[in-house]
Structure formats: structure tokens, C-alpha cells
Structure 1
């Protein structure tokens, strides 16, 4: 199913907090910068901190028991990441890696738990964020399982667009900072199959591609393809 609108609840988590709640979290953290490719947090490591991305983009990936590494999501400015592990006290289940230069507020787990005890509404918003992301993950798995690959790819791109811009209303173009290898993993296909699918979407002038970037040029046409409806031809 292709989402028709973006719920206000899907706005980035930091933006849903009040000024007082943001100030409380900021006061117990510090700001750090990572260069492209650097690791903010490693899968399996102790859950020492939560991160609030202020600038740049981070990729969330996980490795299964067979050693296969796959992207799970991309998070940008205003997103809170790595929030569940400090609360649960369990090792991290995913790796957070900088795509470009990332600046983030780092909040140590012990201080985070103290703030959550004093301000339970922040806990509610973190829980809401986790629920939204679980729904996104479920939709991604659902959309990547269809038999028509052009339709599957269109649906996966729409879901990624909502990750990159939660306020996106599918009326304007949007850039996705994603490599072809990662996009192939999202869509559960080989890289060669992905390239053929992207070539078809480019032929229809629905998307454009550059190094580590896919641009959705005609959102309405991409939505039609994702729904299995022939899109209108470009003017």
C-alpha cells in the first residue's frame, strides 16, 4: 500500500519536543562531529549514548548471523537515533555510520535516563518514534516483496523519501543520499537488476541519478508506478 499523505506524527522526533524538553536534553549532552564514513556507534557495542543529528546524514545498518550487512534506514537533521539501546541497557542492534559530515548532540545514557524520569513525555515521544520506524520497516519489507520490479522499486523509493523528509507531501522533488548497493539491498535485488530498474525510471523521467544520490523528479508518476497504474507521460 502506498501512503497518500505524511502524518504530522511522522515529523522528525526532535521537532515534536517542546523547547523546554529540547533544552533539558541539550543541557546534559555535548556536540560532536564525524566525517563521512566514520562510525557513530557500532552494532554489538555497549549502549552508552543517544544521538540527535543536527547536520548531515547517517546510515543505519545491521549484520545478520551469516555476516550479511544490510542498510535499514537513513536519518538526517532533527532525527534522534540510537535511543533504544541506552534505555534497554542491551548491546546495540545496528551500526550508525556518517554518510556525509555529521554533527550530532551526544547524550550519555545515564543522563538520558535521568531526564526521562523527570520528563516522561520525552519517553512517550521516543516510544512513538520507535513505533513509527517499526511501521516504516514493515512497509519497506512489504513493498520489496512484489513480483513487478518497477512497481517494487517505485514503492521502495517512496518509502525512502518519507525517511529522508518526513514532512514530504509527494508534490515536490526530493534527493535521496543512497548508493546503488544500498538501494539494491533495500529492494532485495542484485545490483544489475537495480540498474535496469533505475534506467527504466530514468527513461520515464521519473528519477535522476548522480553519485550516491537518487532524485525523485516526478513524485506523482512514481506514486502511480508504485500503485501499479501507468503514469502520465512527462510534458
Structure 2
């Protein structure tokens, strides 16, 4: 199997919390597939025919509301299990999953997936644990995006996205966020021009570096302090 090691991608990611025997049960039930950048893994509203284990690359999760507005919800990386709740509920998918870069996945069809869960209930426990963590993260992101002070709000939104991207994140570790500026503006609930001004300020402070489809947090401790509304110790107020 072509996934990265647990040490590289975090012990807390769902796939790494499964035992080798549990991983083997899912591998035996599924098949591998490689997706090109931009390719759709599954569409919002489609039938829940399978679940996915990301072995390599990053996947964007997005949804369209009743007004037809498309908004990003999250990005998931190696050793994450995605699209797993719809096959359990049997309801149409609530979000679209698309490849950000080249993505390698294990795909497990719904009927086989449900059979594995019945035979190995601890896998179901880990999946529901992940769902609870993601719900808490989503609630925090909505809470932080509503703050009145934009620089602080942007720092808080970036911090919550960091915690989604890197489950084992520590303050001293740089993190790449795989979103473009338009998507970050949607997360922060601001116009793109307002977001650009906020990013300019964070760049000036040496907190972030920006590139196409990527925001790098280069001063994580400073980001945490800014998110809390405090000037970081090494940045002049």
C-alpha cells in the first residue's frame, strides 16, 4: 500500500488509528485509484456508493448552498478517511470531494464497507470518533469566522484550518494550507479584497507566506497569539 508512514502524517489520523488487521480488512474489500488534480472523487447529491482512504495527496471538501454559492468546508490529506458517513446513512452525499493535487486512494464499495463495519465494530468506533472531531472543528471555524476584529479573526480562522490540516500540529511546526485566496475569503466570510489586505498584514508581520493554491504558516506561535488577540512577544505592538 502506497501511503506514508504514521510518523510523517500523524498518529491521530483515522487510518493510522486502525490496527494492521483492520487496515487489511478494508484493503481486501477495496481497490486503488489515482486521481488527477481537479478531478472529482464524488459529487454533492450523488448516491453514496463508496468511501475513500487518502493514501497520498490532498482532497478539497466543498458544498453548494440553496442559493447556488459554492463554499469550501475542509481539506483532507494522507491517512484520512473521507466520504464514509453517507454510505453508513444511505443518504445522498452532502458535499463534493475533488483532488487538489495528484491523489491516491483506496476505494471501498458501500456494501463491502458495511460488511467490514459489522465484522469489525472498532473500525466504526474510530470513524464516529473522527466525525465527532470534525464536527467540533467545523463549529469552531464558524465561531471564529464571526469575530468583529478582522486581523484577529483571520488569524483565528487560519489557526482552525491548521488544526484541520495537521492533527498533530505543534506551535513550532510550519504548515501549508492547501487553499487559494478565494476559498480562504469564503472561510473568513469576507470579500477577497478584504482577505488580501489581511494577508498583507500577516505577511508584513512575518507570520505567513503565500503562493498559488497555498498559504504557509511560517510563524505558528505568532499566529496563535494573534488569534487570541495578543501581540506576539517577538512582534512589536
TM (norm. structure 2) is 0.94
DSSP 3-state at the match of 1:201? helix
CA-to-aligned-CA distance 1:12-51 (integer Å, 9 cap, x gap): 1111111110000011000001101100000000000000
Check whether the contact 1:31–1:106 (CA below 8 A) recurs between aligned residues.
Answer: yes
Residue 118 (1) aligns with residue 114 (2): no
Residue 44 (1) aligns with residue 15 (2): no
Distance 1:66 1:176 in 2: 27
1:163 shift after superposition: 1.3
Matched pairs, number: 227
Check whether the contact 1:204–1:233 (CA below 8 A) recurs between aligned residues.
Answer: no
Distance 2:133 2:80 in 1: 12
Structure 1 equivalent of residue 3 of structure 2: none
Structure 2 equivalent of residue 174 of structure 1: 175
Structure 1 outlier segments of 4+, above 6 Å: none
Q: CA RMSD in A?
A: 1.3
Stretches of structure 1 lacking an aligned partner (at least 5 in a row): 1-8
Structure 2 equivalent of residue 5 of structure 1: none
DSSP 3-state at the match of 2:60? strand
CA-to-aligned-CA distance 1:202-232 (integer Å, 9 cap, x gap): 0000101111111101111110100000113
Check whether the contact 2:63–2:71 (CA below 8 A) recurs between aligned residues.
Answer: yes
Stretches of structure 2 lacking an aligned partner (at least 5 in a row): 1-9
1:10 shift after superposition: 8.3
Check whether the contact 2:40–2:99 (CA below 8 A) recurs between aligned residues.
Answer: yes
DSSP 3-state at the match of 1:61? strand
Distance 1:148 1:71 in 2: 22
TM (norm. structure 1) is 0.94
1:138-177 to structure 2, matched below 5 A, reads 138-177=139-178
CA-to-aligned-CA distance 1:98-139 (integer Å, 9 cap, x gap): 000111000000000000000000111110011000000000
